[in-house]
Structure 1
Amino acid sequence: MHVEEIMKQDVITLQPTDSIVTAHQLLLAHRIRHIPIVDEDYSIVGIVSDRDIRDASPSIFSADENQDILNKNIATIMKSPVITVHPLDFVEEVARIFYDHEIACLPVVSNGVLVGIITEKDLLYTLIQLTGTHIQGSHIEVKVPNRPGILPEVASVFGNRGLNISSVLVYPYKNNPEYKILVFRIQTMNPLPIIRDLRQAGYELMWPNNIPEPKL
């Protein structure tokens, strides 16, 4: 899945000469946490967050502090340079950027122009869709040897039962490179027959692993 499929294209922006108070008002009005700062050509030059504005705002406990600070240009508090992504970047690669840089928002830029924005919330929603957790069904984890062809072998067991697979995930088994875990979301509320089929086929279930062998 590409970034362009999940990014928001209607982006609220400001220019560097706009005031801090204007940014604060926009954040509140639109219930957002970040505002990209762009120049006349809509090229991104900075970004400001609700935290940046809180840090710059005068303390409510200090009457002597300069209240005019909120009238300063947003350029005085914006973060620059800005980490950006491209619309055709893969979502899973972008997730790594969020993690590595500990950020909550990424502007999307194409040909030097801001075309969208993606947030942590967008990524979490996408993860829900990719894993199929928004669809009613059952969750099954199978420990398998780490060898070519193992995924279609296991998937065929579900196909023989006529079950529809909502999603499949693959992740390592602890620190043992000889095995991996296949995670299936299947569209059935009664997983007992497929659990029996998997066990009879010789596969080890990591979840559910506390259900006894169904009786015929």
Structure 2
Amino acid sequence: MLVEDIMNTDVKTLSPTDSIAAALKMFREHKIRHIPIVNAENEVIGIVSDRDVRDASASIFDNGSKSDLLLQNELQTIMSSPVVTVHPLDFAEEIASIFYEKEFACVPVVQNGKLVGTVTEKDMLYTLIQLTGTNEQGSHIEVKVPDRPGILPEVTAIFGKRKTNIVSVLVYPCNDDPAYKILVFRIQTMNPIPVITDLRNAGYTMVWPQDDKEPKL
């Protein structure tokens, strides 16, 4: 899945010389948490979060005049810069590492040097839901298999014999044995027992469901 498939293109922006008060108003009116700061050419030069604005605002114990004065400061005094950006043709799965490693909550999307959208941590979470198929009704199966070429089509052939539709497939390492992988299937059936039985008869180890946690019908 590409960034352009998940990004928000209706982006609210401000200039570096706009006031903190303008950002505060935009946050409240549009119920957003991040505002890209752009120049006259729509190039991203900074980003401001609602937390930045809160931190820059006066304490509730300060008098009104001081609060008003602080809110008139320009956004360039509090914005984060330089800004990490992504491209519309980047893979959404790959940019997830940016959110994790940098602890970002929003990343601007830039094409030909111009701002074209944003991706938020909420967008990434929804993408994960789509990729794993957990938003669709079905059953969850995890199978321990040898880590060798050709193993995936061998296992999926078992599902094919049952004419079971596979919604999604994930692969992750087996921590207990590096010679094995765990295949995670989301299948479009509420009765996975026949497929589970076939997998066990083929010699594969079921990680989920376990023998003592077999689905009850």
After TM superposition, the score normalised by the length of structure 2 is 0.95
Give the corresponding residue for 2:159.
Answer: 158
Give the corresponding residue for 1:56.
Answer: 56
**Residue 75 (structure 1) shift:** 1.0
Please give the secondary structure, in 2, of the residue aligned with 1:182. Answer: strand
Q: Distance in 2 between matches of 1:175 and 1:112?
A: 46
Give the corresponding residue for 1:191.
Answer: 192
Residue deviations 1:111-145 (CA, integer Å, cap 9, x gap): 11001100000000000000000000000000000
**Residue 210 (structure 1) shift:** 2.8
Counterpart code for 1:50: D
Moved more, 205-214 or 31-40: 205-214
Give the corresponding residue for 2:27.
Answer: 27
After TM superposition, the score normalised by the length of structure 1 is 0.95
Q: Distance in 2 between matches of 1:190 and 1:64?
A: 65
5 Å-filtered alignment, 1:88-99, equals: 88-99=89-100
Residue deviations 1:25-45 (CA, integer Å, cap 9, x gap): 111111110000000000011
Q: Distance in 2 between matches of 1:4 and 1:212?
A: 41
Counterpart code for 2:48: V
Residue identity over aligned pairs, in percent, reads: 64
Q: Distance in 1 between matches of 2:102 and 2:214?
A: 47
Please give the secondary structure, in 2, of the residue aligned with 1:86. Answer: coil
Unpaired stretches in structure 1, ≥5 consecutive residues = none
Instruction: Tell me: CA distance 1:175–1:102, structure 2 relative to 1, closer, same or farther (3 Å).
Output: farther
Unpaired stretches in structure 2, ≥5 consecutive residues = none
Q: Distance in 1 between matches of 2:42 and 2:31?
A: 22
Instruction: Tell me: CA distance 1:171–1:63, structure 2 relative to 1, closer, same or farther (3 Å).
Output: same
Residue deviations 1:76-100 (CA, integer Å, cap 9, x gap): 1111100001111111110011111
Q: Distance in 2 between matches of 1:153 and 1:143?
A: 13
Count of aligned residue pairs for this structure pair: 214
Q: Distance in 2 between matches of 1:176 and 1:207?
A: 17
Alignment of 1:39 onto 2:45:
no
Please give the secondary structure, in 2, of the residue aligned with 1:98. Answer: helix
Moved more, 96-105 or 161-170: 96-105
**Residue 64 (structure 1) shift:** 7.6
Give the corresponding residue for 2:125.
Answer: 124
Give the corresponding residue for 2:101.
Answer: 100
Give the corresponding residue for 2:2.
Answer: 2
Give the corresponding residue for 2:141.
Answer: 140
**Residue 177 (structure 1) shift:** 1.9
Give the corresponding residue for 2:77.
Answer: 76
Q: Distance in 2 between matches of 1:188 and 1:213?
A: 15
Give the corresponding residue for 2:204.
Answer: 203
Tell me if structure 2 keeps the 8 A contact 1:59–1:65. no
Counterpart code for 2:73: K
